[in-house]
């Protein structure tokens, strides 16, 4: 039986049940995953195991210091590029008192025309200057006004520390997309964060970039105040705020003390249980570069860092203890083992009382040299209205306010105005770079499957990376299936993005497709309907609930962590299948349907075997998605930084030539 690190070996009924639950939950998670997810997961686990072994093998302080420095620099660069720091133009819009503290309602600009709303909780019985702590919120709809974030902020102030609790984008007063009546466009903050991620990724950024920058500017605001001790700054947050605490503490060394709650685990356990989470919580290329959750802590070693965890959290507890073990060893190697700790309480996800107290005690110990057992008494909290910073309740209703959608659209417009019009080998090189494709794509190995109906047969294609692509081949003539054709060489048209799984296609579907695409395909020939990876037979085994982020956002996020993207993987599949078909069929065409047009456009630009190309109902451009909260594009449909080199319209123009 596997025991948790740093615990005595006591096998109890509760421990056995816990292990069985963990095994069961992991098995259930695996049953729900697509074949593509498992394929990517295998790649990730291989990298993560090698990384963990390297970290645990470090024996010299110099090795730990070098790896910490490398992690810090990589995380900073990956979350950038950072904008210039501009005037905060901070103002206090009101002051309230209660619960033994004073609260100043603060408004500042993290970027020109992009406002942050915050509540600054100040001690009333201890004279300034005070240490300052930023408190980024988790995914509460009312942001800083949520009870748990008020309570931890009030407890910090009552314990002699100023606490700046601010609304992240998409929460509280900082919705980035609202309707005319001021109501949110999205049902929840994570939905907005992921839609922001669509445009952010296209311009070479990510949602986390904007969220972390707001936290950096919150630290700037604390530093600007004469009543705050600039050399005694800290950070604590839970859930999404734990994510932000983890990112911020790794990139900004002004954070002398940190306490991250209900986030830190390991990717190995995360991928085996709940998956990689939405786009705001992932840094593109992190696993590919050899980094994992423990590196958020290592990056700041030996600065004091507390992991607050819940036994029954969906952020896996076993991963949290592995994270702690890695860093306890690294901190010990540096001679500061006491500066990293883990607090566990047997409850579920959330900034519950035990974790709030643990976080405040940790911050007080290192920022105030106060090691008293601080406890949280009963006290009243403020209403949402009392903590409202803006006049209307939403920053988007401030004249001239710029949402993140608008900021991304500005960047995209600048990219469009300055990028070179690529063609030929230059365009193909840019495509391969952005799609993370190899210089050459090996033709797939094809093999026949069962006969569905005369002229309609299953076909399979094995790619060079060991993935099986399912398809259906349909021989046709005069608008219908032709079961009598025996010629191995017929004009062949590959279809990517057909809305039905290949193996469920019927003779009637084929007839309707031929009729709808008359003029785009030869009068007689072969159609190959493809299930590129993550669709059809390699998609989720059971239908997933309808999600505005698309049915394959988990696969998309895992691919992004591996430095890949689904557009690139699916384009590679199409090119490999075209290579297989071209062995016997010199006349090869390609049709992209719907979002499959994105993959097909790229394949047509790369595969020299293609003599015919068409698309139907494909997205017109990526540019239009950057500033549109209602875009139908999802994380699976975009490519990191691609708008610096080309848009979909540029691919069409190149194909016309």
Tens of pLDDT, residues 47-82: 999 999 999 999 999 999 999 999 999 999 999 999
Contact of 115 with 108, CB cutoff 8 Å: yes
The per-residue pLDDT for 548 is 77
pLDDT surpassing 50 at residue 643: yes
Identify the weakest region by mean pLDDT among 15-19, 136-140, 349-353, 437-441. 15-19
pLDDT surpassing 50 at residue 20: no
Average pLDDT over residues 371-385: 97
Report the C-alpha gap between 41 and 48 in whole angstroms. 10
> Which two three-digit tokens encode residue 219?
């630290």
* pLDDT range class, residue 30, cuts 50, 70, 90: low
The per-residue pLDDT for 489 is 83
The per-residue pLDDT for 9 is 38
The per-residue pLDDT for 544 is 61
Report the C-alpha gap between 328 and 324 in whole angstroms. 6
> Which two three-digit tokens encode residue 550?
């698309």
In percent, the amount of the chain with pLDDT more than 90 equals: 89
Environment class of residue 531 by beta-carbon count within 10 Å: exposed (0-12), middle (13-18) or buried (19+)?
buried
Q: For 273-292, how does the pLDDT look when each residue is reduced to its tens digit (9 = 90+)?
A: 999 998 999 999 999 999 99
- Residue 262 DSSP code: S
* pLDDT range class, residue 549, cuts 50, 70, 90: confident
pLDDT surpassing 80 at residue 12: no
For the domain spanning 424-656, the CATH number is 3.40.50
Identical topology for domains 91-231+373-411 and 424-656: yes
The per-residue pLDDT for 596 is 98
> Which two three-digit tokens encode residue 653?
């123009």
Helix (H, G, I), strand (E, B) or coil at 299: coil
Domain-by-domain residue ranges, the chain?
Answer: 91-231+373-411, 424-656
Between residues 66 and 27, the one the model is more confident about:
66
Q: For 104-148, how does the pLDDT look when each residue is reduced to its tens digit (9 = 90+)?
A: 999 999 999 999 999 999 999 999 999 999 999 999 999 999 999
Q: In Å, how far from its chain's centre is CA 426?
A: 30
The per-residue pLDDT for 411 is 99
Contacts 24+ apart (CB under 8 A), 444-447: 444/469, 444/573, 444/576, 444/577, 444/579, 444/580, 445/580, 446/577, 446/580, 446/581
Report the C-alpha gap between 509 and 501 in whole angstroms. 11
Residue 227 half-sphere exposure toward CB, CA atoms < 13 A: 13
Q: What is 91-231+373-411's CATH superfamily?
A: Alpha/Beta hydrolase fold, catalytic domain (3.40.50.1820)
Strands (E), 300-407: 305-310, 340-345
Average pLDDT over residues 445-473: 96
* pLDDT range class, residue 31, cuts 50, 70, 90: low
**Mean pLDDT over all residues of the chain?**
94
> Which two three-digit tokens encode residue 443?
């033709």
> Which two three-digit tokens encode residue 615?
């698309």
Distances (CA, A) of 263 to 243, 290, 554: 6, 19, 18
* pLDDT range class, residue 26, cuts 50, 70, 90: low
Environment class of residue 211 by beta-carbon count within 10 Å: exposed (0-12), middle (13-18) or buried (19+)?
buried
Between residues 585 and 579, the one the model is more confident about:
579
* pLDDT range class, residue 192, cuts 50, 70, 90: very high
The per-residue pLDDT for 650 is 98
Average pLDDT over residues 295-315: 99
Q: Which residues pair with 132 in a beta bridge?
A: 162, 233
């Amino acid at each position: 039986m596997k025991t948790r690190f740093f615990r005595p070996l006591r096998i109890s009924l509760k421990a056995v049940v816990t292990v069985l639950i963990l095994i069961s939950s992991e098995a259930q998670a695996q049953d729900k995953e697509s074949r593509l997810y498992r394929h990517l997961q295998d790649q990730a686990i291989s990298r993560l195991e090698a990384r963990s072994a390297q970290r645990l093998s470090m024996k010299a302080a110099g090795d730990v210091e070098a790896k910490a420095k490398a992690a810090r620099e990589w995380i900073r660069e990956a979350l950038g590029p950072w904008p210039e720091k501009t005037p905060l133009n901070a103002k206090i819009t009101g002051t309230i008192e209660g619960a033994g503290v004073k609260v100043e309602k603060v408004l500042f600009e993290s970027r020109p025309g992009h406002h942050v709303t915050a509540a600054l909780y100040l001690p009333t019985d201890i004279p300034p200057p005070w240490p300052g702590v930023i408190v980024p919120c988790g995914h509460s709809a009312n942001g800083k006004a949520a009870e748990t974030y008020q309570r931890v902020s009030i407890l910090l102030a009552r314990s002699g520390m100023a606490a700046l609790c601010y609304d992240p984008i998409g929460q509280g007063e900082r919705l980035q997309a609202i309707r005319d009546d001021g109501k949110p466009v999205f049902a929840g903050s994570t939905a907005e964060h992921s839609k922001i991620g669509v445009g952010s990724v296209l311009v070479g950024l990510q949602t986390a970039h904007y969220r972390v920058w707001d936290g950096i500017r919150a630290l700037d605001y604390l530093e600007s105040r004469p009543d705050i001790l600039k050399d005694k700054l800290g950070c604590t947050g839970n859930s999404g705020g734990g994510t932000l605490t983890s990112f911020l503490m790794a990139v900004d060394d002004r954070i002398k003390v940190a306490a991250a709650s209900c986030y830190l685990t390991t990717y190995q356990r995360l991928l085996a249980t709940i998956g990689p989470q939405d786009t705001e919580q992932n840094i593109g290329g992190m696993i590919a570069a050899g980094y994992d959750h423990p590196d958020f802590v290592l990056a700041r070693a030996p600065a004091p860092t507390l992991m607050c965890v819940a036994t029954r959290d969906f952020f896996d507890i076993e991963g949290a203890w592995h994270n702690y073990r890695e860093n306890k060893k690294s901190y010990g190697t540096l001679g500061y083992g006491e500066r990293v700790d883990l607090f566990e309480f047997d409850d579920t996800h959330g900034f519950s009382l035990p974790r709030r107290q643990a976080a405040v005690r940790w911050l007080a110990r290192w920022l105030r040299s106060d090691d008293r057992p601080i406890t949280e008494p009963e006290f009243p909290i403020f209403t949402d209205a009392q903590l409202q910073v803006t006049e209307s309740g939403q920053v988007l209703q401030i004249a001239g306010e710029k949402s993140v959608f608008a900021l991304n659209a500005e960047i995209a417009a600048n990219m469009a105005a300055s990028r070179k019009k690529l063609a030929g080998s230059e365009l193909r090189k840019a495509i391969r770079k952005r799609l993370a494709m190899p210089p050459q794509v090996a033709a797939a190995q094809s093999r026949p499957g069962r006969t569905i109906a005369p002229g309609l047969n299953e076909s399979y294609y094995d790619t060079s990376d060991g993935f099986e692509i399912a398809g259906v081949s349909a021989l046709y003539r005069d608008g219908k299936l032709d079961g009598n054709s025996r010629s191995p060489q017929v004009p062949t048209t590959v279809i990517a993005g057909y809305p039905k799984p290949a193996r469920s296609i019927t003779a009637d579907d084929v007839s309707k497709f031929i009729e709808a695409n008359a003029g785009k395909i030869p009068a007689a020939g072969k159609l190959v309907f493809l299930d590129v990876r993550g669709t059809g037979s390699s998609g989720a085994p059971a239908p997933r609930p309808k999600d505005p982020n698309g049915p394959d956002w988990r696969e998309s996020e895992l691919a992004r962590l591996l430095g890949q993207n689904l557009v690139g993987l699916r384009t590679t599949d199409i090119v490999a299948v075209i290579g297989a078909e071209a062995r016997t069929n010199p006349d090869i065409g390609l049709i992209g349907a719907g979002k499959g047009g994105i993959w097909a456009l790229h394949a047509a630009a790369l595969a020299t075997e293609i003599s015919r190309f068409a698309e139907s109902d494909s997205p017109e451009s990526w540019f239009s998605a950057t500033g549109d909260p209602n875009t139908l594009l999802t994380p699976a449909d975009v490519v990191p930084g691609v708008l610096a080199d080309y848009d979909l319209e540029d691919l069409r123009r190149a194909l016309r030539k």
